[in-house]
Amino acid sequence: MSPLKPTDDVIRTLLERHRHEGVVPSAARVVADLSPGLSEAAIVRVDLGAASPWGRFVILKAGSLRDDEAPGGFRRGSLGAEREADVYRTDVVSCLTGAVTTPTLYAVDRTDQAVCLWLEDVAASLDVTWDVPQAVRAVESAAQLHLGEVPSFEPEADWTSSEFEAFRHHVPAARQQVLAALKGGDDTRSVLSAEALRCGSRLLDDAESYARRLAEAPTAFQHGDFHIDNAGWSADGRLLLIDWAQAGLGPIGGDIAVFLSNYRARGGNLGALTRREFDELITNTYCRALGDGGASDSLVTAARQVIDLWSVSWAVQVRLGPGLAAAGNDGLDPGIRAGIEQDIAEGLERAQDAAERLQQP
């Protein structure tokens, strides 16, 4: 949880302390809590009470200065809460590509425990019915982000990453869950067959080797949490992405693996395609977009391998660790539980496909 809990009084005090032109602190109030459950950040929609240079409604995202210790797709440097602020401060996205954009940043306020971003409310742009054409369009745009060359900035921004360190902690929990399920110690047999569990166990055994291969892959600037809940379209038709807290240099193609891993779980529609057909379409679309953008054949091949490596490592560890634990929670709403079970089974199936491809010469 963020150390800053944005109640009406807290945000008014914050605005009083930092004083932004045209913003009346006493009129501000929280109208919606948008915080994701596992995030270190508190995110709220704020009504400023009247028209201001920022507009009437804005988003306040308060990130903890402790979040460099939090798990994620990327380890975010010595001041993890500053990573998203750096994305806006440097305007790195527009330096990399014109195909992707971000919400407008109005101001950055800091307390002794948090970095507070005042952002444009882009809810209308995020209101997208995600189907196959939308997904294809999104990954084509993401490819342009990945092809951009990251410039140097003053003061310098830390874009370094260490992917496996960020999710290594899931491996022991995943092993424990799998062993318990194979022994019949809980009801996870209803989620996965014994053969699927044994497959998961083998993938966990290979976690270190997969991580080493990821570490050796070519890198590019990645969003870090690229999924449909964080994506929409700007008024001028560009891919609009929010939540840049995990942005940085990482194995090229990692964003696409995250996109595939999350697509159905977050409500994306496959249309008439099977899961395998959708994965193949998105991967081929992305690789073709890289090639069309000037990437060498070797870089395109590396990106394709990264998508598979990510699918057999991060996605498996998370699903077999916290995923299986959540599926065993009898207190869950049946609909939510069914969704988790489907996501686990689908993720392992994707990982099996990827592992077979990675074994081919």
Q: What are the residue boundaries of the structural domains of the chain, listed by start?
A: 8-125, 129-359
How many CA atoms within 13 Å lie on the side-chain side of 238? 15
- CA 257 to each of CA 50, 188, 197, 238, 314: distance values in angstroms, whole numbers, following the listed order: 42, 25, 22, 21, 10
Does residue 261 or residue 67 have the better pLDDT? Answer: 261
Q: What is the CATH number of domain 129-359?
A: 3.90.1200
Could you tell me the pLDDT band of residue 49, with boundaries at 50, 70 and 90?
A: very high
Q: Which of 29-38, 155-164, 216-225 has the highest mean pLDDT?
A: 216-225
> Residue 22 region, left (φ>0) first, then alpha (ψ -120 to 50), else beta?
left
Q: 221: closest CA among 197, 251, 191, 201?
A: 251
pLDDT higher than threshold 90 for residue 56: yes
Query: Per-residue pLDDT averaged across 48-72, rounded?
Result: 79
Does the pLDDT at position 185 exceed 60? Answer: no
- Over residues 287-334, the pLDDT tens digits come to 999 999 999 999 999 999 999 999 998 778 888 888 888 887 778 888
d(CA 12, CA 1): 20
What contacts 172, CB < 8 A, 6 or more positions away?
Answer: none
206: confidence class by pLDDT, cuts 50, 70, 90: confident
Which one-letter amino acid corresponds to residue 180? A
DSSP secondary structure code for residue 24 in this structure: -
What per-residue confidence (pLDDT) applies to 195?
83
**Per-chain mean pLDDT for the chain:** 88
Weakest mean pLDDT among 29-33, 35-39, 40-44, 180-184: 35-39
Q: Mark 249-281 as b/e (b = at least 16 C-beta within 10 Å).
A: bbbbbbbbbbbbbbbbbbebebeeeeeeebbeb
Instruction: Confirm if 271 and 164 have CB atoms less than 8 A apart.
Output: no
Residue 223 pLDDT grade (very low, low, confident, very high; cuts 50, 70, 90): very high
> What class, spelled out in words, does domain 8-125 have in CATH?
alpha beta
pLDDT bracket for residue 125 (50, 70, 90): very high
Residue showing tokens 């501000």: 28
Task: Decide: 181 and 189 in contact? Cβ < 8 Å.
Answer: yes
Question: What percentage of the chain reaches a pLDDT higher than 70?
Answer: 89
Predicted confidence band of residue 54 (pLDDT cuts 50, 70, 90):
very high
135 confidence band (pLDDT: 50, 70, 90) = very high
Q: What is the pLDDT of residue 74?
A: 38
Q: What number is the average pLDDT over the span 48-68?
A: 86
Q: What is the DSSP string of 305-337?
A: HHHHHHHHTHHHHHIIIIIHHHHT-TTS-HHHH
Radius of gyration for the alpha carbons in the chain, expressed in angstroms and rounded: 21
Residues 311, 351: Cα–Cα separation, whole Å: 5
Question: H helices within the chain, ranges in order?
Answer: 8-18, 82-90, 92-96, 123-126, 132-147, 163-167, 170-182, 194-205, 207-215, 254-263, 275-292, 297-312, 314-318, 324-327, 334-359
Which of these ranges, 18-22, 151-155, 166-170, 307-311, has the smallest mean pLDDT? Answer: 166-170
Least confident of 145-149, 260-264, 330-334: 330-334
167 vs 75, more confident: 167
Residue 255 clears pLDDT 80, i.e. is over it:
yes
Residues 6+ apart with CB under 8 A from 302: 217, 218, 252, 253
Least confident of 31-35, 45-49, 271-275: 31-35
- What pLDDT shows up at residue 162? 56
Across the range 87-93, mean pLDDT stands at: 95
pLDDT band at 119 (very low <50, low <70, confident <90, very high): very high
Question: What does the alpha-carbon distance between residue 248 and residue 115 come to, in Å, rounded to a whole number?
Answer: 18
State residue 328's pLDDT score: 77
**Average confidence (pLDDT) over 61-86:** 61
* pLDDT, position 73: 39
